[in-house]
Amino acid sequence: MLLITVLVADRVVRLRQINSRARAVAAQAAILVKQAIRSTRAVSQALAGSGDRDAAGDEFRTYMMMLLVGAPVLIDATVSRNFLEQAQSLGGEMARALAATARTPGQADYPAARLDDAVRRLRTASTPLLQVLNPETRLVVLGDQSG
């Protein structure tokens, strides 16, 4: 009887740890997605010539620092690792876009659709991670995905 009680208690503790880890991963993913959207918007405006390239660079650096900080939390499991890979890919696209704005200010030769596609892939990869969050929080993070 004691052995069964110990096994049940161990299982309960393990499930709580898994749930806590899932919430921590979801929170990290939510923070990264929100910053990714903000950074991408700034880079897109710089690409179009209507934004400040220096401000876009600052947003990009902030995103990359957040990505570095979040990577250890995200690298352990397959789903979160996929999200991390998409986040890194988006960082690469933003770097390419910013480099294009440096070469030809106001007339960047970088297709903005590539940046939009990278953001779409990041949002898609974040969906399973964010399921542990309540619907209101998911809406705040992801916003309207119809456009």
Mean pLDDT of the chain: 84
pLDDT of 14 over the 70 cut:
no
**Contact status, residue 110 vs residue 100, Cβ threshold 8 Å:** yes
SS3 state of residue 41: helix
Domain ranges of the chain: 2-129
CA distance readout (Å), 116 to 1, 72, 140, 145:
59, 26, 19, 12
Residues 92-120 have pLDDT tens digits of 999 999 988 887 655 567 788 899 999 99
Distance (Å, rounded) from C-alpha 147 to C-alpha 144?
Answer: 7
**Contact status, residue 94 vs residue 102, Cβ threshold 8 Å:** no
2-129: CATH, from 1.20.120, 1.10.3470, 3.30.70, 2.60.40: 1.20.120
Residues 28-38 have pLDDT tens digits of 999 999 999 99
Distance (Å, rounded) from C-alpha 93 to C-alpha 83?
Answer: 15
Which of 21-25, 43-47, 56-60, 112-116 bottoms out in mean pLDDT, i.e. has the lowest?
21-25
